Amino acid sequence: MNRMDSQRQTEETSVAQPEAGGALDAALARLYGEPMLELPKDLYIPPDALRVFLEAFEGPLDLLLYLIRRANVDVLDIPMAPLTVQYLEYVEAMRASNLELAAEYLLMAAMLLEIKSRMLLPRPPREESVEIDPRAELVRRLLEYEQTKLAAARLDALPRMGRDFERAGVFVTEKIIERMPEVSLHDLQLAWLRLVKRARLVQHHRIEREELSVREHMTRILRKLHGGAFVVFDTLFDVEKGSAALVVSFLAMLELVKETLVVVTQNEAFAPIYVKLADAGN
């Protein structure tokens, strides 16, 4: 008796297992890990709670081209009947979703119905007449739109400023002014010592009374610089007139620099020193 009870219990368990598996498969959702076999009585789902738009089209030609490519048919030989049906189904779906339907979609629907009707109507026989395909104008517009769409895709794939790269700005001055190295007091001192050394080598011992004027030497220096060009610093001094004349000439040069009448410069460090008029052009 015990053996029969255990066998019956085993059979009941084996039969109940598929029922439990089917209940799990039929569950609508899981709440805290437990399967929900039916929705609650007081559950309210608004009709517009969730909408998923799988495709977005830019116009009726884009929609037609999508339907043709999805059906994998030749654009030059469009089956108007199934294409018109699919197009109208999409238009009706847009209406059912309370979307504002553009007038061009309705115009294209009327055009498709007209082409479909013209293809279904019998054609009277005509002699020496060229038969015009009612789909010719639609095919032409579809091909032109496809070429335009491909060209737009290629243009969009090109690098775009602000999306793929940023513009780099570089400030460039309109006029480049060449700045000469400044002549330091040490450079003037070395130039003066060279002049004094040269003056001692060529000095003649003459005893006479000389009246030296700083203004007069300033005038002489300005005359030598009258051309406006750069003049070597050493050539503005006459070493044959002795140390006294060199001192006065050097004082005249310093006075001209002080009054900003002349400019003293050099191309680089330890290079020859040049002098020119301050108001002369570069």
pLDDT at 83 (0 to 100): 86
- Please check whether residues 197 and 263 belong to one and the same domain: yes
- Please check whether residues 270 and 190 belong to one and the same domain: yes
Report if residue 53 sits inside a domain. no
Report if residue 49 sits inside a domain. no
Nearest to 102 by CA among 152, 149, 52, 57: 57
Lowest mean pLDDT: which of 84-93, 155-164, 192-201, 205-214? 205-214
- Please check whether residues 230 and 197 belong to one and the same domain: yes
Render pLDDT for 49-63 as a digit per residue (tens, 0 to 9). Answer: 555 444 567 788 888
- Please check whether residues 71 and 108 belong to one and the same domain: yes
Give 77's pLDDT tier (boundaries 50, 70, 90). Answer: confident
Mean pLDDT to the nearest integer, 11-18: 38
Which residue do the tokens 């000389």 mark?
A: 210
When divided into structural domains, the chain yields a total of 3
Render pLDDT for 220-279 as a digit per residue (tens, 0 to 9). Answer: 888 888 887 888 888 888 888 888 888 888 898 899 888 888 888 888 877 888 888 887
For residue 16, pLDDT beyond 50: no
- The CATH code of the domain that includes 262 is 1.10.10.580
Domain that holds residue 268: 185-203+210-277
Report if residue 174 sits inside a domain. no
Render pLDDT for 96-143 as a digit per residue (tens, 0 to 9). Answer: 765 566 678 788 888 888 888 887 777 666 644 556 777 888 888 888
DSSP character at residue 176 = P
pLDDT at 188 (0 to 100): 87
pLDDT at 48 (0 to 100): 58
pLDDT at 168 (0 to 100): 79
- Please check whether residues 29 and 75 belong to one and the same domain: no
Give 198's pLDDT tier (boundaries 50, 70, 90). Answer: confident
- Cα gap 115→135, rounded to integer Å: 7
Report if residue 68 sits inside a domain. yes
* Beta carbons of 269 and 181 less than 8 angstroms apart: yes
pTM confidence score: 0.39
- Report CA torsion sign: 271, 272, 278, 279: negative
- Please check whether residues 29 and 64 belong to one and the same domain: no
- Please check whether residues 28 and 65 belong to one and the same domain: no
pLDDT at 20 (0 to 100): 46
Q: What tokens appear for 118 in the block? A: 């013209």
Report if residue 162 sits inside a domain. no
- Please check whether residues 197 and 262 belong to one and the same domain: yes
* Beta carbons of 96 and 81 less than 8 angstroms apart: no
